[in-house]
Structure 1
Amino acid sequence: MAQVVETTGKTVAEALASAVKQLGCTENDVDYEVLEAPSKGFLGLFGVKPAKIKVTQKEMAAEAAPAVTVEDVKVDNSSAADVPVKSAEKVEPAEPTVPVEEQLARAEKFLREVFEAMNIEVTWKQSEAEDGVVFNLEGENLGILIGKHGQTLDSLQYLVNLAANRGVAEGRVRIIIDIEGYRARREETLMRLAGHLAEKACRIGEEVHLEPMNRHERKIIHMALQDNRRVSTYSAGDEPRRYVVIVPRRRRSRRRDYEVQERYNED
């Protein structure tokens, strides 16, 4: 009789690997059914669920059937709620072009569904910018949508763009999500920080490492200091902990005064 097990994991692949280990066989020796698709929840904060699958070991005497592989499972990430599982054959082909108006309508629909699920009242004003279409959100107590240094806001923006551009091959619209001018204020803060830390790097004659930032914020730092002849900048580390390094062009001698060094270390 065929052996049957049910396993869970962060992903379907992880659950399948656990099952074949329990059965002492390979993926080619089993069939499996996804009972519950994995879900990262809303912005990775709410409703996180593991994958749950039912794995059946094939009868040795039965005629070999095509094995189901992990690659046959496609996850639709267009929604921040429960993630449905679709077979590869059912994936719709990309459309050549979709009117911008329709893409923006998709974005608005997605935002309404998200805010309804979170039970918060949010309105927004739409405007065009050089690098895309801006949705500036307004409402009370929207700090939960910003997160630390805008990380939650960036995640929401990423999901909105996925929803708006789903199946679009050409003419994809870029949507920028802002909350009551937060991004402009954050940019001003980063530019001031860049100037302050550039001065510090010149005073102490050593490199200054900033905290990890996303690609957009690192670019702001680089741009803020690109005309500063006293320092140069570069990025180091791996995502998601990649950071900017500010380097003074004239470094202090290693034989520095101890008291001066201690004073700067307190900055």
Structure 2
Amino acid sequence: MKESIEIRSKSKEDAISQAIEELKVSEKDLQIETVQEPTKGFLGFIGAKEGLYRFKVIKTESDIAKEFVENILKNSNVEAKVNVTQDNNLIKVDIEGKEAACLIGRRGETLDSIQFLTGLALNKINKDSHMRVLVDIENYRSKREESLIRYANKAAREVARTKKIKKLDYMNPYERRIIHSALQNDKYVTTYSEGTDPYRRLVIEYKR
């Protein structure tokens, strides 16, 4: 899809209409620059010159995120579809395609790296951006969340039974939040984190 175009026209309004039709966007998504104003000429038509207008599609942060992830897939020779949605200040990037599973990595480490780099790409374009990015592949994160909640509940039952502290595996902040949330109302155990990323882990302790 074209991202910019120059149009010669008798009026700016006509040029905008042409740009909207050719670039397949709405006027609010266009950056418009008047390169040369039109002239009416002698008697309104003799020697009249059309104006020259330059149009550029304004990329939203969602567009940037989608394009960035698509480039990663292309460079990795992975066939997959990228769907992007925005919910308030959260941009969700969903990658669909069995081939894309190779980009999840061990316990989602590669996926987390893609998510981190996508966030950096947005900040590079707009340093004042308050957008967060969540990248997922074939619903891996929801499946991982379900697995972590089961793991958390099993560990909590063990701690409640033995009354001994249990230190879980190293996890990223996203995964630790899931377990904290799952056990925050448990009447037998409490949770806290210790260590420094990437070697930060969650601890489950019996309530005395």
TM category, shorter = 0.5 to 0.7
Q: Which has the higher strand share?
A: 2
CA shift, 1:114, in A, is 1.5
Matched, 1:181 2:106: no
CA shift, 1:173, in A, is 2.4
Instruction: Give the SS at the match of 2:169.
Output: coil
The 1:163–1:169 alpha-carbon spacing in structure 2 relative to 1, beyond 3 Å, is closer
Q: Which residue of 2 aligns with 1:197?
A: 155
**Partner AA of 1:244 in structure 2:** L
- Give 2:127's match in structure 1, choosing from 169, 184, 204: 169
Cα offsets for 1:52-106 (capped at 9, x unmatched) = xxxxxxxxxxxxxxxxxxxxxxxxxxxxxxxxxxxxxxxxxxxxxxx99432222
**Partner AA of 2:200 in structure 1:** R
Q: Which residue of 1 aligns with 2:190?
A: 232
Cα offsets for 1:157-186 (capped at 9, x unmatched) = 011111122142323322211112111111
Matched, 1:159 2:117: yes
The answer to whether the Cα contact below 8 Å between 2:94 and 2:138 also exists between their aligned partners in 1 is yes
CA RMSD of aligned residues (A): 1.9
Task: Tell me which moved more, 161-170 or 118-127.
Answer: 161-170
Cα offsets for 1:195-222 (capped at 9, x unmatched) = 1100001111100110000011111111
Q: Which residue of 2 aligns with 1:62?
A: none
For 1:131 and 1:196, how far apart are their aligned partners in 2? 34
TM-score for the superposition, normalised by structure 1: 0.53
**Partner AA of 1:154 in structure 2:** D
TM-score for the superposition, normalised by structure 2: 0.67
**Partner AA of 1:222 in structure 2:** H
Instruction: Give the SS at the match of 1:115.
Output: helix
For 2:83 and 2:66, how far apart are their aligned partners in 1? 11
- Give 1:247's match in structure 2, choosing from 184, 205, 208: 205
For 2:161 and 2:127, how far apart are their aligned partners in 1? 51
For 2:198 and 2:95, how far apart are their aligned partners in 1? 26
Q: Which residue of 1 aligns with 2:17?
A: none
Any stretches of 5+ residues in structure 2 without a counterpart?
A: 1-56
The 1:167–1:110 alpha-carbon spacing in structure 2 relative to 1, beyond 3 Å, is closer
For 2:196 and 2:133, how far apart are their aligned partners in 1? 26
Q: Which has the higher helix share?
A: 2
Any stretches of 5+ residues in structure 1 without a counterpart?
A: 1-98, 251-267
Q: Which residue of 1 aligns with 2:73?
A: 115
The answer to whether the Cα contact below 8 Å between 1:100 and 1:173 also exists between their aligned partners in 2 is no
For 2:166 and 2:203, how far apart are their aligned partners in 1? 6
Q: When the two structures are aligned, how many residues end up with a matched partner?
A: 152
CA shift, 1:140, in A, is 2.0
Q: Which residue of 1 aligns with 2:176?
A: 218
For 1:100 and 1:210, how far apart are their aligned partners in 2? 46
Instruction: Give the SS at the match of 2:81.
Output: strand
The 1:157–1:194 alpha-carbon spacing in structure 2 relative to 1, beyond 3 Å, is same
Cα offsets for 1:6-27 (capped at 9, x unmatched) = xxxxxxxxxxxxxxxxxxxxxx
Map 1:63-212 → 2, pairs under 5 A = 101-129=59-87, 132-212=90-170
Task: Report sequence identity in percent.
Answer: 36
CA shift, 1:118, in A, is 1.0
For 2:104 and 2:68, how far apart are their aligned partners in 1? 17
**Partner AA of 1:159 in structure 2:** L
